[in-house]
Amino acid sequence: MFINTLGISGPVSLLFIGVVALIIFGPKKLPQFGRAMGSTLKEFKDATDGMTNFDEKKSTPEDGKDKEVK
């Protein structure tokens, strides 16, 4: 990413991102923006978990017809 190309890593990069976000959004809008980002990430995670569970259910044989006979 851009911060790594500058040679900044670790806690300094988080501080840099926080200061830039504070300048852009201001102290009143920053908590609202954080809540919106958190809820968006939660919805995305729930959707991807649902897709993973759907794929697992789809791949397992339910009636036993796909089992090998020895």
Residue 41 located in a structural domain: yes
Residue 50 located in a structural domain: yes
What whole-number distance in Å separates Cα of residue 7 and Cα of residue 32? Answer: 31
Domain extent, residue 48, equals: 27-55
Q: What domain count does the chain have?
A: 1
Contact 30, 22 (CB under 8 A): yes
Residue 20 located in a structural domain: no
Indicate the pTM of the whole model. 0.47
pLDDT along the chain (70 residues), means of 10: 60 86 88 90 88 62 58
Residue 64 located in a structural domain: no
What would the 3-class secondary structure string for the chain be? CHHHHCCCCCHHHHHHHHHHHHHHHHHHHHHHHHHHHHHHHHHHHHHHHHHHHHHHHHHCCCCCCCCCCC
Residue 34 located in a structural domain: yes
